[in-house]
Structure 1
């Protein structure tokens, strides 16, 4: 956690979309994060992509608490989860992609630490309003 660069991740173009993340490695279609609002986000991956399910650990700047950001929608009750499915095929210029629902419950900068299978892949820093 000490090695996180807390600058909000850059934006870049891929396909017909603006992404936020690291060009040619990892990105989300750039959409605002609003505190405590569940929203669908499309993950995109490039390059040597490890096999395995997507796991996202969320850390807010100034905190050492690691929380889940992924949400499983349910008619009864939405619930936070650590892990989603494995990425699927190419999409929007990326080598692999995966839709997910996410929610972050406090304003500020958040680092989304991304693992595929057992391997750390990279992180994206977002601003939650």
Structure 2
């Protein structure tokens, strides 16, 4: 079978600096990533960047501009983010998903991040 550029070897999570305790959350984050709409799917011109794309068990790597600290009190378990810009950097898109322990935590944490971003009128979680 020709898998193209897709990895066929199992991931070495410890070699990627994840602890043994983080293995389950990392695997869940990768599973969630399979359902993310990536920036280039929305706008084919968004093809540059991506160094920060991937799974994280750290809130500071899921949201931009230091907003990850807003998720800290809600116990984020894992997340996935992807980011792309146009070649001239005139447009960009950052897509993140996160898993929380409870539906309530999943509603309140991201809601706080939206408020910090100046989107107080957002109806998320209502």
Would the TM-score normalized by the shorter structure come out above 0.5? Answer: no
Which one has a larger percent strand, Structure 1 or Structure 2? 1
Which of the pair has the greater relative contact order for Cα pairs under 8 Å at 6+ separation? Answer: 1
Bigger Rg, which one: 2
Pick the TM interval, shorter chain. under 0.3
Which one has a larger percent helix, Structure 1 or Structure 2? 2
